[in-house]
Chain A
Amino acid sequence: MNNQLKVSLPGLELKNPIIPASGCFGFGAEYAKYFDLSCLGSIMIKATTLEPRFGNATPRVAETPSGMLNAIGLQNPGLDVVMSEKLPALEKYDLPIIANVAGSCEEDYVAVCAKIGDAPNVKAIELNISCPNVKHGGIAFGTDPDVAYELTKAVMKVTKVPIYVKLSPNVTNIVPIAQAIDAGGADGLTMINTLLGMRIDLKTRKPILANQTGGLSGPAIKPIAIRLIHQVSQITDLPIIGMGGIYTADDVLEMFMAGASAVAVGTANFTDPYICPKLIEALPQRMEELGIESLEQLRKEVRENRR
């Protein structure tokens, strides 16, 4: 295996830093028809809630310049089916799984976090406190430092695997939220979730999305992600999995230079189902051109040069 792409994070020894982002890759099965999932660093599986959820009414997606809006609404088959069917189906791949966990109240988050780590291939949890598309829970836990602190503490008590908390960019100041999650004992952060947006259909004069608003993703939000990762990496030592509009190897390296320790790729999977293997393939040459010996070396440099 190529050592220059290896990265090591709490619970996650990744052969490369490329992780399909939650919600953009289902539970892996669909993309497994396109390429061998074992080539990936990890997979962030679709958000899992205690009970099955249908999600929002359709239309659930809309296009925007260099981006898209989505308001899926955390549709998933619920914890039991994820544990009995979805996660076992991924065991045949040489792949640590990051389970994205969502809920509408603290008890839900705690219940899912307590159990999902029992799956042998789940090596970490991504705590989704930043989904902008559900009425209860989701983003409500990620915009108030006190609430974020309490929830982090509560799930840390019950989890068997490291917890990465997913931050929302939909806040006036992300710093106190990140600090609260750090103080709550989280093992890492993932950022950023989508930005709240809206589009209107000129013919109907109404929002395109049935949910009216949706989360903006894609290259349109990349500079915001870079800025926020940079900002948060200055005030915490927690490792950050960076995401927001990654389409190229250059985007991956830019995230690392902002302070990320691995990256997640979301919207790009819809444009090109082979984007993750292509990024893994393209990284070594681009690193050589830029004089980057290894990603671990780059991480170390970025950490030493903070402030």
Chain B
Amino acid sequence: MKQEMMTIISQIKIAPKIFELILKGKLVKEMKTPGQFLHIKVPQADLLLRRPISLASIDQKKETCTVIYRVEGVGTESLSLLKKNDFLDVMGPLGNGFDTAFVKPNDRVFIIGGGIGVPPLYQLSKELKQRQAKVVHLLGFAKKEVIFYEEEFRALGETYYSTDDGSYGILGHAGNLLVKARKVGEPSAVYACGSNGLLKMVEQNFSTHPHAYLSLEARMACGMGACYACVCHLQKDETGTKSKKICDEGPVFPTGEVIL
């Protein structure tokens, strides 16, 4: 099964314009890797394209999963109006998630996130904690009031914040946090999701690191590799004709692979 009418267990506004949506259904059984995404049909008939939204949390016992999204337009706005017990048309899980198989106990691992790129890093951090890694969260937000899941991240490991306006943590972007964290100790793995600027910063810092991963975002149509809407160029392709699709060959890529 790859598509289901999932049941909404709860929907809560957790920060301005940011919603946490918990869904229940058989599709959860398929959700095994952090970093994968759901392709969600918003409840408005004239909006034809699904919205790719990353999985923030997966609970196999309860058969539930959580997505966190920001209202950006009419589609996400109509999604935000759904209530408990409403149904939602969900495809997925799609894409390849974060590789964590190589992580060993006590490995120092950096999780670098920015704004609405932070949600998939929560499930990732939970799984890294299970692997007994020492996770360091470096999270950048625009300002204090849009920060979410602070307690949840702090419960999993060291957590540092930066804000664009200096209203919480240090002033500036997550790159400033990274400089400090590297002085304490270099990471054996790095995972990042956020704006293109944040991803470029991580790419520059860890372009040859064997275990540095970036999760990309793109406008998609099919979400499953057929339409070629979400392609990116490859770093090692002189012809410029080769590409990777963010939906089914990503959304997670190792550093050094795609052009951001």
Contact = CB atoms under 8 A, between A and B. Distances in A.
Interface stretch (A175-183, A251-259, A268-276, A288-296): A268-276
Nearest to B218: A58
A168 B47 CA distance: 25
27 contacts: A23-B227, A24-B222, A24-B227, A26-B225, A26-B226, A30-B222, A30-B224, A30-B226, A30-B248, A33-B2, A34-B2, A52-B241, A54-B242, A58-B219, A59-B229, A60-B219, A61-B49, A61-B227, A63-B47, A68-B49, A70-B227, A72-B227, A270-B49, A271-B41, A271-B50, A273-B222, A274-B3
B91 interface: yes
A268 B48 CA distance: 8
Nearest to A61: B229
Nearest to A267: B48
A66 B227 contact: no
B221 interface: yes
Contacts of B75: 63
Contacts of B41: 271
A76 B47 CA distance: 28
B196 to A, nearest CB: 12
A72 B229 contact: yes
A243 interface: no
Interface in A27-50: 30-31, 33-34, 46
Contacts of B225: 26, 30
B46 interface: yes
A67 interface: yes
Interface of A: 23-26, 30-31, 33-34, 46, 52-55, 58-63, 65-68, 70, 72, 75, 218-219, 267-274
Contacts of B243: 54, 75
B52 to A, nearest CB: 12
B interface majority secondary structure: loop
B240 A68 contact: no
Contacts, number: 97
Contacts of A272: 3
B230 A58 contact: yes
Contacts of B239: 52
A55 B49 contact: no
Contacts of B233: 54
A34 B228 CA distance: 18
Given A68-B221, A270-B50, A271-B49, A25 B226 contact: yes
A120 B227 CA distance: 25
A140 to B, nearest CB: 22
B220 interface: yes
A224 B48 CA distance: 19
B124 interface: no
Contacts of A67: 48
Interface in B201-220: 218-220
B174 interface: no
Given A59-B219, A273-B91, A24 B48 contact: no
Given A62-B219, A68-B221, A70-B221, A55 B228 contact: yes
* Shortest 5 CB-CB contacts between residues of A and residues of B: A26-B226, A30-B226, A61-B229, A30-B225, A270-B221
A75 B228 contact: yes
Contacts of B229: 58-61, 70, 72
Given A273-B3, A274-B3, A63 B241 contact: no
Contacts of A23: 227
Given A58-B219, A72-B228, A270-B50, 13 more contacts: A24-B227, A26-B225, A31-B224, A31-B226, A53-B241, A54-B240, A54-B242, A58-B229, A58-B230, A59-B219, A65-B46, A68-B221, A269-B226
Interface in B94-122: none
B260 to A, nearest CB: 12
Given A61-B49, A270-B48, A273-B91, A55 B222 contact: no
